[in-house]
Structure 1
Amino acid sequence: MAGGLTHLNEKGEAHIVDIGDKAVTRRRAVAQARLLAQPETIAAIMGGGLKKGDALAVARVAGIMAAKKTSDLIPLCHPIPLTKVEVEIEADGEGAILIHATAETTGQTGVEMEALLAASTAALTLYDMAKAIDRAMVISELCLLEKSGGKSGDFTR
């Protein structure tokens, strides 16, 4: 791990990282989450057949809202003016849904946490909307797929 843990000071205490001297650059991150469920549940979610309504639209909005609230939920994250948040949801075979969340900014710190929170919140929203028909759903594979911009450079899984 290059550079050590940035959220710890020289005494080992948690602190918010000083980004005042960092360059303003275009930054982008893409994260994913996967929702595993019974084929009937996937069909109901993807086909709009849930009693609670359009799960896909609600999950997309929930993911966007979550990205905007990242610094309120993750203690040492800076508030970031996001220039774009996009949540894409698609069936992945008969037994899974794949969620991709993209966050972008022009700023002094990255948007990895915003993308991860968007993807996980969208998945949790789908779970909530479908739990009446399938409580055995599993949310898995929450991970960063790629990031670009900033001093640490680009990353692709």
Structure 2
Amino acid sequence: MSSDYFNPNNHFAEQAKLNEQRARLEEIAARRELDAEKFRNQSNDSLIAQLRDKASVLAEKNHQLQRANAQLETDNKFLESLLSLPMDEIAAKNPRFKASHDAQQLALAKWILSQKAYAETAFVVGIAAGKNAEEILAIYKDSVSSVLANATKHNNNAVGNPVLKAHADSIIKRN
């Protein structure tokens, strides 16, 4: 055996075998590393695909929201311009508004009728009492001032009606 130990051919053969074993082990390690890298790449590819899909879905949702926002802005501008129109024109464009507007117009017409009837009655009574039209109109103007000043003799003050009370100052400024 001792002669084999010093045999240079055996030494190089042993070195070659060790190198071969080392190379096989390195190859196995490299293959394992390659397989692990392939697995990581596949995982990354899956993640990238998921992220692309999610980005695509979010981009579509964003696009839908932008369209909805643009529609809402258009609707808002339309409604603002609609509300700036006279009520008769709004009623002509919107059947639901027309129904409530017509009901308010009917109430206003009834109120105007009652005021015209009171005015006619005032003139009939005033003329029967010996007053002329100018005197009756002067009494009317004094009555308007008394109502707005909350100083009537028969409790017909402006404060008795919430709508009149809310607008009394505006009426006074305009008269």
TM-score category, normalised to shorter length: under 0.3
* Greater per-residue strand proportion: 1
Q: TM-score, normalised by structure 1?
A: 0.22
Which of the two has higher C-alpha Rg? 2
Kindly indicate whether structure 1 or structure 2 has the higher relative contact order, using CA contacts under 8 Å at least 6 residues apart: 1
TM-score by length of 2: 0.20
More helix by share: 2
